[in-house]
Amino acid sequence: MLLVGDAAGMPNPMTAGGLRTAFESGIRAAESIVSGKPEKYESWWKRSKTADRRFMKAHAALSSMSDEQLSEFSRYMVHKGVWVNGIHSVIHNPRQTWLYIGCLQALRHGW
């Protein structure tokens, strides 16, 4: 049995949404079954950027912030370019560098 999407614990760790990971994992599961190699599915998930536990750490950090803390965290994210926002934010709040990088990575992966 292969589980996909939310049933496999694959929600988007930044937003807790699950459509993208459900569709992607469903396609990968079907491909592995058709190829006769269901183990390819587990291998794919272990290598997947969306399985990176650092995203869950970022989700937990963002979820635990108060409105004031979220406001301060996003204060410098006002530029048009995503990377400009990240650089500007890190300069002004270097202790949150790991969290800004997590958010930028999430955007990079289409979240």
How high is the pLDDT of residue 109? 66
Residues 38, 85 share a domain:
no
Residues 69, 47 share a domain:
no
Token pair in block for residue 100:
């800004």
| Full domain range(s) for residue 27 | 1-51
Chain segment 25-42, per-residue pLDDT in tens: 999 999 999 999 999 999
Token pair in block for residue 34:
């058709």
Residues 57, 44 share a domain:
no
- In the numeric block, the tokens 């409105």 are attached to 67
CA atoms within 13 A on the CB side of 97: 5
DSSP per-residue string spanning 89-100: HHHH-GGGHHHH
Residues 109, 61 share a domain:
yes
CB contact set of 74 (below 8 Å; sequence gap of 6+): none
Residues 65, 34 share a domain:
no
Residues 64, 40 share a domain:
no
* Max mean pLDDT range (38-42, 43-47, 52-56): 38-42
Chain segment 60-103, per-residue pLDDT in tens: 888 888 999 888 888 877 777 777 777 888 888 888 888 887 77
